[in-house]
Structure 1
Amino acid sequence: MPDDNGVLTWRRLLRAELRRLLAPRALRLGAVVGLAVTAVFGLSKLALHDTDTAAAWRAAESRFAQIQADAARYGLPMNDGVGPRLFYDDPRYVMSTLSFGDLRTAFTALAAAAVLFGIVAGGADWTSRVVLTLATAEPRRTRLFTARALLVTALSTAAAATTGALLVPLLLLAAWLRGSTEGMDGVYWAAFGSLYLRGILLCGLLGLLGYALAMLTRRAATALGAVFLYLAAAGQLFAGRGPRLAEYDMAGLTFAVLNEKPVIPMIESDCIAGPGCEATHVDLTIADGLAGVALYVVPVLALALWRSTRTDLG
């Protein structure tokens, strides 16, 4: 209920804003479709994998025999280390290796959806002019801006967490019925859990980026175009400033955040010298990725807050 000055309390403000964010039917439909797509993606592993390793080995041996025949026919040398294993494609769903890529794929799609959700959450009320009514009910615009920013971030992270929680059991089912659970020890679960948490955090940050751009441009359609221009311009700003900074486009940062493999330091590399060698080990670390995404979000968020609180709403 309102406080002594007739202003909404934080609890009531957050509750009212949450209802507004969840009110659009399209948003609820999108959430259902997203969960359905996740279920189909997870269940597809059952159809795409099987346990017939014998047939896979026969195919590998046949392919190797063909390579040997071609080498003998054309007088080409054969490396002694080359064997059927090089051509073996494991048909099973090996959870300890394939699950990382599948979870990364899911979170990459969710991150894009989080940006779109943030844009809709921040821009719809400006397009419909409802924001004027909201500002009358809550004249302290900083609180209004902050409340919705917190809710957009929370809903984006909650959606990512829920989607991941649905996907993981389906991947486990595929591993049990159509693959292998070998290698799923404590080290695996630590790495997998870390990836899961980083994916949730990434979705929250990118939802906040979409919201900030919408509040800055004050139109959902304009913000949708602005996000592409902003990411492209930022990518061009970093490009050409060395192989490391060139990876500070959003695609490189997203991969860094969701990369489960550690970066190989140059001092530990077998590479000897040269620019190609340097570029091979220039991959950004997880910390670089998170810091880079924050670098994209914070300036736009600050500008959006300034415009929302210091300029005319009309």
Structure 2
Amino acid sequence: MSGRPGTADRADVHTALPWRRLARAELRRLLAPRALRLSAAALPLLVLAFGLAKLFTHDNDTAAARRAADEEYRDFLATAARTGLNAGGVSRDNFFHDPRYLMDTLSFGDLRTVVTALAAAAVVLGIYSGGADWSSRVMLTLAAAEPRRGRLFATRGLLVTGLAMGATAASGLLLIPLLLLAARVRGSTAGLDAQYWAVLSSQYARGVVLVGLLALLGYSLAMLTRSMAVALGVAFLYLASAGQIFGGRGPRLAEYDMNGLVFAVLNEKPVVPLADSACFAGPGCEAVHTDLSGVDGFLGILLYALPLLALALWRTTRRDIG
């Protein structure tokens, strides 16, 4: 399709589809692939399996865990005496691993695991939704049916973002009762006060927004490159080279790769300012106290997503299709 897109948009406004009809059509297109429908059906089963697994990987037999810790401690003392190692400051508690599922500590990590997996899947979903129709040349037909390309771009972006956020919200609502069940049967629900639920709810809400942003990032990348294969290749190359790009340039910069930003968004612990700590020197202290906050994490992800989104929108609305 050639010519000036802006002129075509103004000339063909009267032929554009009503937005609700466009949204329904695009939603059907997005959900049409069999692989996507199977993935959607498998998602609750995977979350269910992950949650129920906590029942089988934890138990209430702390006595056996104490005996195992005592045995490891005795072995450690024997090794220290034989090798001259200083055993001061090491006690049996250092070797004790609580076998119970402690909801007030373990649930944050489990929710973070599920959301992180969904975030990775959301990038792939976004890339598919933005790139599949370019490789199949269907975009030519779609642009003819909906001449206002900006509206088509926005509708697809909103749909993929909304689907990713909805799937994450539903997964969290399914996971948390399963974790509560594991804690009641194979652990402890002590410490589940108002502050705990406020922190968990905040992590849950941040996770929902995070997954939506990453789906939009993948969509923007595919719409910019106009190729699902190229977008997947760029994403893979970034992940493979992020350590070399950001690593070795100080702890602060190293946290601005996507893994560091995602962890910052999902981290349930507040950042401890260096001025409030007794640890002031050494690389260990520097690394601990340059943790990014959740706000830092979101801002970093927006620094990735917004330029791609703007460039993709510009190319979609201002450049020829074909």
TM tier relative to shorter chain: over 0.9
Shift of 1:157: 0.4
Query: Could you tell me how far 1:129 is from its partner in structure 2?
Result: 1.2
1:269, CA displacement in angstroms?
1.3
Aligned-partner Cα distance in 2 for 1:140–1:18: 18
1:10 corresponds to: 19
The answer to whether residue 145 in structure 2 is matched with residue 137 in structure 1 is yes
* Cα distance change on mapping 1:13 and 1:195 into 2, 3 Å: same
Q: Identify if the C-alpha distance between structure 1 residues 72 and 226 changes in structure 2 by more than 3 Å, giving closer, same or farther.
A: closer
* Deviates further, 206-215 or 11-20: 11-20
Gaps of 5+ in 2: 1-11
* Offset from partner CA, 1:240-275 (integer Å, 9 cap, x none): 554312210001101111111111101011113345
Q: TM-score, normalised by structure 2?
A: 0.91
Q: Deviations over 1:148-175 (max 9, x none)?
A: 0111110110111111111111111111
Q: What CA distance in whole angstroms lies between the structure 2 residues aligned with 1:176 and 1:270?
A: 38
Measure how far apart 1:230 and its partner are.
Answer: 4.5
Secondary structure at the counterpart of residue 78 of structure 1? coil
Q: How many Å apart are 1:83 and its aligned residue?
A: 2.5
Q: How many residue pairs get matched?
A: 311
> 2-side partners of 1:174 and 1:180: how far apart?
9
Instruction: Measure the CA separation in 2 of the matches of 1:76 and 1:235.
Output: 36
What is the percent sequence identity of the aligned residues? Answer: 64
Distance 1:311 1:87, change over 3 A: same
Q: Which amino acid aligns with 2:224?
A: L
> Which residue pairs with 2:127 in the alignment?
119
Which residue is equivalent to 1:178?
186
Q: Whole-Å Cα distance in 1 between the matches of residues 68 and 246 of structure 2?
A: 46
Query: Which residue of the other structure, out of 19, 34, 46, is the alignment partner of 1:25?
Result: 34
Maintained 8 Å contact 1:235/1:250: no
Q: CA RMSD in A?
A: 2.0
User: TM-score normalized by structure 1?
Assistant: 0.93
Over 3 Å counting, the alpha-carbon distance change for 1:195 and 1:242 in structure 2 is same
Would the aligned equivalents of 2:274 and 2:280 in 1 still touch at CA under 8 Å?
no
Match of residue 55 from structure 1: 64
1:44 matched to 2:21: no
1:216 aligns with 2:224: yes
Partner of 1:305: 313
* Counterpart residue number, 2:9: none
Equivalence for 2:281: 273
Q: Which residue of 2 aligns with 1:68?
A: 77
How much has 1:35 moved relative to structure 2? 2.0
CA distance in 1, matches of 2:165, 2:188: 30
- Name the aligned partner's letter for residue 201 of structure 2: G
Mapped partners of 2:300, 2:307: distance in 1: 12
| Deviates most, 31-40 or 171-180 | 31-40
